[in-house]
Structure 1
Amino acid sequence: MRKVYPRGPLSYFRRSKLCSILLSLSFILFCFLFVIYENGNVVDMSSYESPENHEKYKDNDLSYKKLPSEINALDFFGSRRHNRNLQHLYSKDLFDEKRNKDLTKMIYKKRKIVSKSRQRGFFNVPKKTMSEKVKDTPSSRDVTDYYNFEGYRTTSSDESMESEPLDGPSKKLPKVIIIGVKKCGTRALLEFLRIHPEVKATGPEPHFFDRYYDYGLDWYRDLMPETNGEQMTIEKTPRYFVTKEVPGRVFNMSRDVKLVLIVRDPVTRAISDYTQVASKRASMKPFEQMALSDNHTGLVDTSWPVIKIGIYAKHLEEWLRYFPLEQFHFVNGENMVKRPSEEMFKLQDFLGLRRYINDSHFYMNDTRGFPCIQKTGSKYPHCLVGTKGRKHPRVDPNVIRRLQDFYRPFNKKFYQMTNIDFGWP
């Protein structure tokens, strides 16, 4: 029997194949638009992490470095639904409540990916000082306080302890950092500070801000010793002073951190540095050949790191872009050997500590020409290990005079920057 269909244009459309095709395409388009609306225009992180696509994303899709605001950075990293939950970003109480659960966790994950391509920070940090950056716009102070320029929270020293327990010992971020200078007595200075009962210091050099910055602040805090509310956490890494990226990273951790720098005559420092390296390399050239690129003209080889470190004024300029001079304390390395208690009195005053370390805590080792520590209640003095205080090789006096002439204008500028005359030749 012949099948009979209802008459009319609608009935004809319903039984056509075109109807099913259009309905299917409409449903797919609806689902696609819904997904875009809910998730925003974000990078597929699973494909981003794949090795074959890593270079492509590194060059083309790290567009957040060009984004003008922190809200756009949040749009890049998370869905719009999650961003709507973070619209209270500038409300301090609500931000503190959620930052450890949501924002920090998300940023740490994305930082680990970005760091593999050696990309610096979530925003471009200008070369002008952070204090000038804060004054740019009325709302930029909030951005600096709660969302820093390299993905971590920028805080004052008081705010950085808000989430840390106060009723018992806990690991805290350092309030004081000995940033250098290498071969100027940084190790001895830290050991002298350990005498004070209100000071707790790290053991090995953390090298967080110059080598392991990608590990995050939680990893860094875990390296610190446990302290109570009356004790101060201190760490030492001399390489910080000469690493260009470190000042901004330290500022992002805390803009109120106190910075200690111990310096000595740059010529003596260079010879000491060479002595340490030569003790590990038997085939190393003499100091005179390494220091001068041309023996006839006496041209100093400024590309040699041993020479470059001693240009203190150049490195200090980078730090002064972020921190005022009042947050620095400069220790005279030569005077610390001759009169250690005098330098420790000044340092204790700068750190706000009572004058506990005095002459009774030091014993001069005439053999090595360096003071040892006489701890309270100990029968014997504690001296640094045998690798410290090595005997320097004899250096041609003409080369020494040439290096003194080279460093003299830099030393003079350093004196002006610090308002201290160290009296180097």
Structure 2
Amino acid sequence: MSEDADSIPMEYSPILHHLHAGPPSSPSPPPSPSASSSSSSSNHVRNKLFVLCIMLSLWVYMVYCCVGYCATIPTPAVSRSTTTSIITTSIITSISTTITGSEARRGGSLGAPRDLLNDDTEADSRGGGDDWDEGKDMGKDTGKTGLSLNGSDSESQRLPQAIIIGVKKGGTRALLEFLRAHPDIRAVGAEPHFFDRNYHKGLEWYRDLMPKTMEGQLTMEKTPSYYVTKEVPARIYNMSKHTKLIVVVRDPVTRAISDYTQTRSKKPDIPSFESLAFRNATPASGGGGGGGVIDATWSAVQIGMYAKHLERWRRYFPAEQLLFVSGEQLISDPAGEMARVQDFLGLRQEVTDRHFHFDAAKGFPCLKRPEGNSKPHCLGKTKGRTHPNIDAAVVQRLREFYQPYNRKFYQMTGHDFGWD
């Protein structure tokens, strides 16, 4: 056979063929046996290095894939050539960030004490709120077993399935804290004000405020201004038409005075209650005893026109998705009202009379552990702000003003709250 035929076996090895390939050159004398042996050894070493590089690349890629698969906490994208030490550092950093974010979201649940009925809405919106058991509260926001560094596929942040939508000065803070004693409820301590003030930030921003929950647990929030904000019903409906809504209501006259009292505690120089409640009041009338017209545009008065606001909600949500809780009953019979709320939410009766201790000196119920002798936790060191003395004639005028709204509200809800 020819010399070309003798060279055919070399072409069966693409790697070796590639290594020997080169530009044409002038003929040279045949290599000596020692040079041929040295070239063969060099090629063998190069082949081994080439295979080793491929195996090392595959190993790094497999390690990265395994780490990414096992970690439930999102990590930044890492190139295939990143070493395992950098991957581990990224995971630890991500875990630290997640925990810090969770604590920040939960920070609103451990703020200043809050009055059961005279809850400070503005302070709540900044992250205020009081809980009766800080340890349990932390467990609630992260799941029954707390936050695990390894995460859990069953834990996630969900949009709320139930919302306490009102009303200001009705007792929403009390209800929220009572509900957070239930093991199947996770609730945001601060008021998100998403549907009235922060709607432009989008649902993902809203979802990110929610605590992590497991399957079967209920996510909740409370923002009392929702009930009186015109745009909110449609916005909540667009999020989920199945959302359950809770409204805590209170005698509208008492509620208005309480609202004014809170404002005056921040702004001592505001005008008198009477001058704000009535338009065209004359000095001789004392602000409203005989003259002047009740100013229904003043927020303290307007909020108590419950029936007017309810008409707007009923355009989007059927009666069975709205529950109205008595602020007065929440103090005199908290276990009874909580039984109604738990039934409405489809939860087992966990928060019962065993959770409440009525403090005769304070005049309102305090939360306690169902078992044990620990001291009851009473919400609000400023509970029971002293209301200003309002002329009896002014109070009577307000009661007459609210009477038709109250009666319509009783009819719409099927419940007589006994305010007249």
Query: Is this contact kept in 2: 1:370–1:389, CA < 8 A?
Result: no
Q: Distance in 2 between matches of 1:413 and 1:370?
A: 30
**Residue 393 of structure 1: how far off its partner (Å):** 1.8
Task: Output one character per residue of 1:352-381: Cα deviation in whole Å (capped at 9) or x when no partner.
Answer: 001111111111122331111113456111
Q: Distance in 1 between matches of 2:176 and 2:300?
A: 23
For the residue of structure 1 that corresponds to 2:183, the secondary structure is coil
1:263 lines up with 2:257 in the alignment = no
Residue 186 of structure 1 corresponds to 172
Task: Output one character per residue of 1:228-263: Cα deviation in whole Å (capped at 9) or x when no partner.
Answer: 002100100000000000000000000000000110
Residue 406 of structure 2 corresponds to 411
Q: Aligned to 1:177, which of 163, 170, 189? A: 163
Q: Distance in 2 between matches of 1:177 and 1:360?
A: 25
How much identity, in percent, do the aligned residues show? 57
Map 1:297-308 onto structure 2 (within 5 A): 297-308=291-302
Q: Which runs of 5+ in 1 are unaligned?
A: 1-164
Mark the CA change 1:232 to 1:315 in structure 2 (over 3 Å): closer, same or farther. same
Aligned length: 261
1:344 lines up with 2:338 in the alignment = yes
For the residue of structure 1 that corresponds to 2:357, the secondary structure is strand
Q: Which amino acid aligns with 1:242?
A: V
1:358 lines up with 2:344 in the alignment = no
Q: Distance in 2 between matches of 1:402 and 1:174?
A: 40
For the residue of structure 2 that corresponds to 1:326, the secondary structure is helix
Query: Is this contact kept in 2: 1:198–1:230, CA < 8 A?
Result: yes
For the residue of structure 2 that corresponds to 1:390, the secondary structure is coil
Q: Which runs of 5+ in 2 are unaligned?
A: 1-150, 282-287
Moved over 3 A (4+): none
Residue 259 of structure 2 corresponds to 273
**Residue 421 of structure 1: how far off its partner (Å):** 0.8
Q: Distance in 2 between matches of 1:278 and 1:368?
A: 22
Q: Which amino acid aligns with 1:317?
A: E
Q: Aligned to 1:314, which of 297, 304, 308? A: 308
For the residue of structure 1 that corresponds to 2:266, the secondary structure is coil
**Residue 298 of structure 1: how far off its partner (Å):** 4.2
Q: Distance in 1 between matches of 2:216 and 2:315?
A: 31
For the residue of structure 1 that corresponds to 2:164, the secondary structure is strand
Mark the CA change 1:169 to 1:378 in structure 2 (over 3 Å): closer, same or farther. farther
Residue 45 of structure 1 corresponds to none
**Residue 169 of structure 1: how far off its partner (Å):** 1.2
**Residue 389 of structure 1: how far off its partner (Å):** 2.9
Query: Is this contact kept in 2: 1:166–1:229, CA < 8 A?
Result: no
Q: Which range moved further: 255-264 or 283-292? A: 283-292
Q: Aligned to 2:415, which of 406, 417, 420? A: 420
Q: Aligned to 1:241, which of 227, 230, 234? A: 227
**C-alpha RMSD of matched pairs (Å):** 1.5
Q: Distance in 2 between matches of 1:375 and 1:277?
A: 34
Query: Is this contact kept in 2: 1:374–1:382, CA < 8 A?
Result: yes
Q: Which amino acid aligns with 1:258?
A: K
Q: Distance in 1 between matches of 2:224 and 2:373?
A: 30
Q: Which amino acid aligns with 2:278?
A: L
For the residue of structure 1 that corresponds to 2:168, the secondary structure is coil
Q: Which amino acid aligns with 2:340?
A: K
For the residue of structure 2 that corresponds to 1:416, the secondary structure is helix
